[in-house]
Amino acid sequence: MTGSGSWRNWAGNQRATGVDVVHPSGADEIAAALRRAAATGRRVRPVGSGHSFTAIARPDDVQLVLDRHAGLVDVDDAGLVTVQAGMPLHRLNVELAARGWALTNLGDIDRQTVSGALSTGTHGTGARFGGLATQIRALELVLADGSRLRCSADEHPDVFAAARVGLGALGVIDTVTLQAEPAFALRAEERPARLGELLDGFEEFMSSTDHVEFYWFPHTDRCLTKRNTRLPPGAELEPLPRWRAVWEDEVLSNAVFAGVVAAGRRVPALIPPLAAVSARALGARTWTDASHRVFVSRRRVRFVEMEYAVPRDAAPAVLAELHRVATAGEFRAAFPVEVRVAAADDIAPSTASGRDTAYIAAHVPARTDPGSWFAALESVAGSVGGRPHWGKLHGLDVDALRSRYPRFDEFTALRARLDPAGVLGNAHLDRVLGPVAG
């Protein structure tokens, strides 16, 4: 299926018009689309569900939409699950749960495709746990010349070391094999806390149970903490009563924020008092549910986001400085800052490559200027070697990024080898990786 079309991402800050849109089904059709583009000197972008805030998925010429290549291939007795590239995470979670399996860790939402999420280094939280890409056991790629390559720890390990966070620059993912684990429940505990106490005992708090994160409401010292503890098999589920889930997750989390955002747009001076109200409205609660239902929330209020990965031990100082900037500066930030952690991994372009990491994310409403708020995060995180999430807004170019990743040139050399003509590229990849040097 081919046609001409336009595209915009979830946040609405990235758009493309007049692109060739191809919906391949199967590796042969992916290969044919790549060969056709290469022969006519056009560049190709596979796209997931458009949840990246950067222009990483924005097509220059040809867009590959993998909605006809989105099935479950296999789940074996050891929990190795193989899916086609376009499978959305929310469908995979349901397919796995029906068979008694679950993914080890997830981010905040499940609307992304598996390949899209993996390709930008999507992560959740957990001091002992890596991002989603650390769950990959094998990848089948269709390379820019239409040939196939399977990589794993044993097959083309040099490709596997990079392609698990491949930025859509090394090949089009055909299938992914992930290691699932027996389905488990999480006990979720949400509590208010003060920023000062969290920063004083940051490492202890963030590793106080399996999956810990907190939201800090700028212009206040108020935070909401979330601690999710993995429970042994057979644990009894105590999900939130339906009315409470709707009230707290839909009405308070989404609608209260929508109100704050709308009011803040009109009168920025209202944001600090409204942030304090939001923080107070989200009180303590505890519940137990299947892991994927606890990890994931709905995000109805559209926003744009910047997120920096910093060495974990530098996070308290970064947050203290951001607090100082938020208090002293003119900018009024309506959305909370989200703070998460991950274990070091061995994937060259991963934001947690080679170091235990804390993630610090700032958000502003869609269609507003992030102005000095994102600039402040970028500057403070940059002073400690922060690495921006590949799917979230940042202002760095190839030279700045090279200085933040010891194995950066490993990735660009592999790209030049696998795609010497730069078929899998776009203007954004030219900025963050440089033009392909074949």
Ligand X SMILES: Cc1cc2nc3c(=O)[nH]c(=O)nc-3n(C[C@H](O)[C@H](O)[C@H](O)COP(=O)(O)OP(=O)(O)OC[C@H]3O[C@@H](n4cnc5c(N)ncnc54)[C@H](O)[C@@H]3O)c2cc1C
| 108 interacts with ligand X by CB under 6 A | yes
Length of the chain: 438
Using CB under 6 A as the criterion, what x/- string covers residues 66-105 for binding ligand X?
Answer: x------------------x--------------------
Least distance from C-beta 319 to ligand X, angstroms? 18
Of 19-27, 111-119, 315-323, 379-387, which segment contacts ligand X by CB under 6 A?
111-119
Taking the least distance from each CB to ligand X, the nearer of 276 and 366 is 366
Which residues, listed in sequence order, are joined to residue 288 by a DSSP beta bridge?
187, 238
- Cβ proximity to ligand X: between 45 and 323 the closer is 45
One character per residue 6-45, x = contact with ligand X (rule: CB under 6 A): ----x----------------------------------x
Largest Cα span, the chain? 60
Q: 65 or 326, CB closer to ligand X?
A: 65
Q: Which of residues 368-407 bind ligand X (CB under 6 A)?
A: 389, 391
What's the CA gap between 122 and 136, in Å, rounded? 13
- Minimum Å gap between C-beta 107 and ligand X is 3
If the CB atoms of residues 12 and 395 are measured against ligand X, the closer one turns out to be 12
One of 82, 104, 105, 122 touching ligand X (CB under 6 A)? 122
Alpha-carbon distance 383 to 400, whole Å? Answer: 12
Residue closer to ligand X, measured from CB, 194 or 298: 298
CB 274 within 8 A of CB 256: no
- Using only C-alpha atoms, the chain has a radius of gyration, in whole angstroms, of 21
Counting contacts by CB under 6 A, is residue 215 touching ligand X?
no
Closest distance between ligand X and the C-beta of residue 228, in Å? 13
Please select the residue that binds ligand X; options are 93, 105, 115, 357, rule is CB under 6 A. Answer: 115
Q: Which is nearer to ligand X, 282 or 296 (CB)?
A: 296
Which one of 107, 146, 336, 382 is in contact with ligand X (CB under 6 A)?
107
Nearest residue to 1 (alpha-carbon basis) of 29, 43, 42:
29
| Number of shown-chain residues binding ligand X (CB under 6 A) | 33
CB of 371 to ligand X, least distance (A): 20
Task: Give CA–CA dist 159/379, Å, rounded.
Answer: 32
Least CB distance from residue 315 to ligand X, whole Å?
Answer: 16
CB of 427 to ligand X, least distance (A): 13
Please report how close the Cβ of residue 10 comes to ligand X at its closest, in angstroms. Answer: 5
Query: Regarding beta strands 44-47 and 62-65, do their DSSP bridges make them parallel or antiparallel, or are they unpaired?
Result: parallel
CA dihedral for 290, 292, 298, 304, sign (positive or negative): positive
Q: What residues from 44 to 63 belong to the interface with ligand X (CB under 6 A)?
A: 45-52, 56-57
Indicate the residue among 79 and 86 with the shorter CB distance to ligand X.
Answer: 86
For the bound state, the minimum distance from the C-beta of residue 429 to ligand X, rounded and expressed in Å, comes to: 8
Q: Which is nearer to ligand X, 296 or 325 (CB)?
A: 296
CB of 234 to ligand X, least distance (A): 29
* In the complex, minimum distance from the CB of residue 123 to ligand X, in angstroms, rounded to a whole number: 4
Of the candidate residues 117, 143, 165, 393, the single one contacting ligand X (CB under 6 A):
117
Hey, what are 175's tokens?
Answer: 């299938």
Which of 33, 83, 109, 136 binds ligand X (CB under 6 A)? It is 109
Contacts for 294 with CB less than 8 Å, ≥ 6 apart? 185, 186, 188, 228, 287
8 Å CB contact between 139 and 347: no
**Considering only residues 168, 264, 272, 349, which one is a binding residue for ligand X as defined by CB under 6 A?**
168
Shortest Å, Cβ 108 to ligand X: 3
Residue from 68, 299, 402, 431 touching ligand X (CB under 6 A): that is 299
Rounded Cα gap, residues 297 and 152, in angstroms: 32
Residues that bind ligand X (CB under 6 A): 10, 45-52, 56-57, 66, 85, 107-109, 112-113, 115-117, 119-120, 122-123, 166-168, 172-173, 299, 389, 391
